[in-house]
Amino acid sequence: MRATATAGSNIAIVKYWGARDLALNLPANGSISLTLDAARTTTTVDFAPAYEADALVLNGREVGGTALARVSAHLDRLRALAGVNLRARVETANTFPEGSGIASSASGFAALTVAAAAALGLRLSERELSRLARLGSGSACRSIIGGWAEWLAGTCDEDSYAVQVAPPEHWNVRDLVAVISAEPKAVPSAKGHERAASSPLFEARLRQVEEALPAVRRAILERDFHALGVLAEADALSMHAIMLTSAPPLLYWLPATVELIRQVWQWRLEGLPCYFTIDAGPNVHVLTLPQAVAHVAERLRALPFVRQVIPCGPGPAPRVIPSGA
């Protein structure tokens, strides 16, 4: 019982930071993201009686530890649904470098969920796939959706999943991922979610997000790039303010991160349509439009501290790749 699936990562415009329930990955707030085309994970899951234990091969190398434990726990959820007790071999590869500031857990758990469900012959709705992917990694629930996705925070396991705000072809916003450092992050997101509520600013952030969600939805539907960009920057800065003021504090930025924020603001003053957003790391996602993408990419590549620029755009929902394809 074997299947392969591919899924895109996503970049959040309104971010998930802080959980109501960490075991179930129930977020403190709703979030909105764009699923990406070029940053993908492709995963093959093979369930067979010959396997004595689950195995995980990541970009050609067998890995154990917490990565395997997380994958195995996720496979348990799907095995329970299918009533199957077979162990599996999981082979997975990313199109983007590890630690590039592109969330491999989002595309990884979306691809794993879709591939394992297909291998087990489970016919699941998009909502069910999103809910399941969320249990593997919170942000993965948004990668089940093509294009612009909103994760409805919900109140419990059943009603916390992502829905589509607009399909990928609705609006060709470009995301240039400027890699400043490819070091793995010192503090995983899960630790940050755990301590977010210790920030005295957290309640204020939740109020800000409540107002931002309908505004971001509107900016997407109306293709209002200025509105989207302003909201994306405000939300990224708000999330990093929570990180800075948590106990103990978290600082993901490097000096070059700040330098790049200032550059983006300067380029905008010069008339270039570009805005930044930053996840739990030092790398900067620069949002722009097709007519400016070559120019912005050129400026990014000219900066001595930018190691790599990964161009992305709106991507489709995950799909199962037929065997032999």
Q: Which of 90, 144, 280, 306 binds ligand DP6 (CB under 6 A)?
A: 280
Closest to ligand DP6 by CB, 140 vs 260, is 140
Is residue 13 near ligand DP6 by the rule CB under 6 A? no
Nearest CA-CA partner of 116 in 96, 94, 101, 136: 136
Give φ, ψ of 15 to 5 degrees.
-100, 155
- Interface characters, 216-255, with ligand DP6 (x: CB under 6 A): ----------------------------------------
Spell out the SS3 assignment of 236-296.
HHHHHHHHHCCCCCCCCCCHHHHHHHHHHHHHHHCCCCEEEECCCCCCEEEEECHHHHHHH
Closest to ligand DP6 by CB, 149 vs 267, is 149
Tokens standing for residue 107: 């595309």
- Site residues (CB under 6 A) for ligand DP6, limited to 204-223: none
Q: Which of 190, 215, 234, 254 binds ligand DP6 (CB under 6 A)?
A: 190
Q: Which stretch binds ligand DP6 (CB under 6 A): 12-20, 74-82, 160-168, 310-318?
A: 12-20
State in angstroms the smallest separation of the CB of 148 from ligand DP6. Answer: 14
Tokens standing for residue 180: 């400043």
Closest to ligand DP6 by CB, 56 vs 280, is 280
Amino acid (one-letter) located at 313: G
Q: Which stretch binds ligand DP6 (CB under 6 A): 123-131, 135-143, 155-163, 257-265?
A: 135-143
- Site residues (CB under 6 A) for ligand DP6, limited to 93-112: 103, 105
Q: Which stretch binds ligand DP6 (CB under 6 A): 88-96, 118-126, 155-163, 183-191?
A: 183-191
Number of residues in contact with ligand DP6, rule: CB under 6 A?
16
Nearest CA-CA partner of 168 in 39, 11, 9, 314: 314
Please tell me the distance from the alpha carbon of residue 96 to that of residue 76, in angstroms, as a whole number.
27
Is residue 63 near ligand DP6 by the rule CB under 6 A? no
Q: Where are the alpha helices (DSSP H) in the chain?
A: 65-82, 104-119, 126-136, 140-143, 189-195, 202-221, 225-244, 255-269, 293-301
Please tell me the distance from the alpha carbon of residue 119 to that of residue 46, in angstroms, as a whole number.
7
Is residue 16 near ligand DP6 by the rule CB under 6 A? yes
Q: Which stretch binds ligand DP6 (CB under 6 A): 11-19, 155-163, 175-183, 259-267?
A: 11-19
What is the DSSP code (8-state) at residue 184?
Answer: P
Is residue 139 near ligand DP6 by the rule CB under 6 A? yes
Burial class of residue 163 in the structure, from the number of CB atoms within 10 Å of its CB (0-12 exposed, 13-18 middle, 19+ buried): middle
Q: Which of 5, 7, 8, 15 binds ligand DP6 (CB under 6 A)?
A: 15
3-state secondary structure of 46: strand
Closest to ligand DP6 by CB, 16 vs 47, is 16
Q: Which of 9, 29, 31, 42 binds ligand DP6 (CB under 6 A)?
A: 31
Is residue 189 near ligand DP6 by the rule CB under 6 A? yes
Contact indicator for 220, 170 with CB cutoff of 8 Å = yes
Omega into 167 within 30° of 0, i.e. cis? Answer: no
Residues that bind ligand DP6 (CB under 6 A): 12, 15-17, 25, 31, 103, 105, 137-139, 188-190, 279-280
